[in-house]
Amino acid sequence: MKRHNLLITSDLVGSSDVRRLRRFANVYRSSELEEKTLADRLRETDALLISFWPEFLTDETLRRMKRLRFIQGILVGVDHIPFVTLPRKVVVCSNAGAYSLEVGEHAFGLLLSAAKRVVDTHNSVARGKTDFKEFRGTSDDILVLQGKTLGVVGYGGIGAVVAGLGRSFGMDVIALSRSRRSGRGVKFVRGRGALTSLLAGSDAVVLALPLTNLTEGMIGAKELSAAKRDAVLVNISRGDIVNQAALYEHLRLKPSFRYATDVWWYEGGRETLVTDYPFTSLPNFVGTPHISGPTAVASGRPVRMAVENTLRYLRGLRPKNVVKRSEYYRSIVL
């Protein structure tokens, strides 16, 4: 078996993992190499283990990496990888499932924060609204989950966790999935019109699907207008699934509709907390600064799973979570 050359560009991978990987490959860390040596190594590199796509891997550099065959991500999403430049023979693996538990919990934290109006009423009290009478009527917009319907868009690891928690709260769960057709107590919808009918029938909706050329901007003005007037929409996947301008307009015009997110829109290929519209000035917007993922990283699971999958590749086994590349030929500039 030929010996692989693996380059690790993430500091999250610890030394014990490096030792395990060394049994099947020559392993280098980009952070430990001088610029000149790194350039030499890149020409020999056939496998990459990365977190966010490293800046030194420009399109030009990538074109010189003739031997590259495999990329394993530590993040769950792979939308940051420049697929357009990447030769077809390179297999890209996501880290699907590695963040499901923590991100699913965070999704429910956002859902309940918006459903129970925690952020806006807390801030009203903090700003000096201290007469209980002023909060009369607040409860009209409080969503009691029991007996209501939860729509889950995308039924991967995170979607399944969210659906399970929804069931625990006594919710009926509808899920939109391309591939999954069964899940305990979950009604699956698919095909043309499925998204609109899911939105129309759900009191709370969680977006838990990857950002691809099929999903970018999939929630626009039309979809928002199909949703219930007082629904709670939670985004735990990627900001760009939702059309920013359409969302702002919808939130402004429908004060009972709520959007709660941990993910933000891309600007120049990078997620940014700076938005085109003043979302945080709206009481029906809740946003956390993409903090759901790091919690999972802290558990060690994402690195462990990414290392395991890299080992599968190095040992000549079929790696898991191979990405359907055709869906990622997006035009985001990196």
Residue 121 binding a copy of itself, by CB under 8 A:
yes
Instruction: Say how far residue 303 (Cα) sits from the centre of its chain.
Output: 17
How far CA 60 is from CA of 15, 29, 39, 57, 88, in Å, comes to 30, 20, 12, 8, 16
The residue type of 321 is: N
Shortest Å distance, C-beta 69 to a copy of itself: 32
In the complex with a copy of itself, the residue whose CB is nearer, 271 or 308, is 271
Give the span between the Cα atoms of 64 and 42, in whole angstroms.
8
Q: Give the shortest CB-266-to-a copy of itself separation in angstroms.
A: 13
Number of chain residues interacting with a copy of itself (CB under 8 A): 55
Task: Return the half-sphere exposure (C-beta side, CA atoms, 13 A cut-off) of residue 205.
Answer: 27
Give min distance, CB of 134 to a copy of itself, in A: 8
Count of C-beta atoms within a 10 Å radius of residue 16:
9
Among 105, 216, 267, 327, which residue sits at the site for a copy of itself (rule: CB under 8 A)? 105
Q: What is the sign of the dihedral through the CA atoms of 92, 288, 165 and 170?
A: negative
> Judged by CB under 8 A, which stretch of 21-29, 33-41, 128-136, 211-219 contacts a copy of itself?
128-136
Residue among 100 and 215 whose Cβ is closer to a copy of itself: 100
Restricting to residues 263-292, name those near a copy of itself by CB under 8 A: 271-274, 280-281, 286-292
Question: What CA–CA distance (Å, rounded) separates 188 from 174?
Answer: 6
What is the C-alpha separation between 12 and 51, in angstroms, rounded?
8
Binding site for a copy of itself (CB under 8 A): 101-102, 105-106, 108-110, 112-113, 115-119, 121-126, 129-132, 135-136, 138-140, 142, 144-146, 164-165, 168-169, 271-274, 280-281, 286-292, 294-295, 297-299
